[in-house]
Amino acid sequence: MQILIFNDPLSLANACADRITDLIARKPDAVLGLATGASPVGTYAELIRRYEAGKVSFRSVRTFNLDEYCDLPKADPNSYNSFMWDKLFGHVDIPAENVHIPDGNAPDLAAQCEAYDQMIRDAGGIDLQLLGIGRNGHIGFNEPADAFTKGTHIAALTESTIEANSKYFTENPMPKSAITMGVGSIFAAKSIILIATGKKKAEAIRNTVCGDISPSRCPASILQLHPDVTLLLDPEAAALLKTS
């Protein structure tokens, strides 16, 4: 696991954008696994800047998002579909058909989960997966549980996640479940970058880096076994690493 600590958010976003644009330069039809939440927003803004400056094109890039709420209209401002088009896709040249976001309103959710995993396999697997992390160590919506999840599935959200995200739901109540790639789907990515900032993430980062590999304590701890993981942190998120 490579751990890089940045004193300012712009340098962190730049480092992440460098990894993505280097990959696209080598492989123009790269398959990116993308995340929502606050953590990747600076990276997406930097990718838009680079696109506008003519330094990168997303014309052939294919993307798979980690997750989406269930029972929330796709066009709702809080859907992850809206988030991605607002923060990245709507500002670059990626064709809409290259964008994949799980459909949390599919009439047959089990079939949607299977189809999503199949689409990832058909694309040749994820080259680079971008992740945030929850305060409880979740990745995607893979909350602490008795076992690591495998493929895309429906997840009930925990109180901790509902509390962290409900600030965004000012009009409608926050959904209580989501469709999410599994820990197994994430682990299958060839390369993984996890971004975490702020002291609220410090414990999850300590558990990810040096805790027991435990689905109940910290789902992200499985990343210790992955051959190509980079953590991009600020000093606050990294604060508990020195003493452990």
CA 218-190-26 angle, 5° bins = 140
Rounded to an integer, what distance in angstroms lies between the CA atom of residue 41 and that of residue 17?
Answer: 11
Among 33, 37, 215, 219, binds ligand PGA (CB under 6 A): 37
Type of residue at 151:
G
Which residues, numbered 120-139, are part of the site for ligand PGA (CB under 6 A)? 132-134, 138
- By beta-carbon proximity to ligand PGA, the closer residue of 98 and 161 is 161
Q: Are 217 and 144 within 8 A, CB to CB?
A: yes
Is there a catalytic annotation at residue 68? no
Q: Which residue is it, tokens 């409880």? A: 136
Q: How far is the CB of 161 from ligand PGA (least distance, A)?
A: 7
Active-site residue identified among 78, 81, 98, 136:
136
- Which helix (DSSP H) or strand (DSSP E) does residue 155 occupy? strand 153-156
Question: Residue from 23, 24, 34, 39 that binds ligand PGA (CB under 6 A)?
Answer: 39
Note if 207 is an active site residue: no
What is the C-alpha separation between 86 and 243, in angstroms, rounded?
A: 40
Sheet holding 153-156, edge to edge: 67-69, 177-180, 153-156
**Catalytically annotated residue among 78, 143, 153, 234:** 143
At closest approach, how far in Å is the CB of 132 from ligand PGA? 3
Is 138 a residue of the active site?
yes
Q: Is 125 helix (H, G, I), strand (E, B) or coil?
A: coil
Q: How far is the CB of 129 from ligand PGA (least distance, A)?
A: 13
Shortest distance, position 104 Cβ to ligand PGA, whole Å: 16
Residue 143 catalytic? Answer: yes
Which residues contact ligand PGA (rule: CB under 6 A)? Answer: 37-39, 132-134, 138
Q: Which residues are catalytic?
A: 67, 136, 138, 143
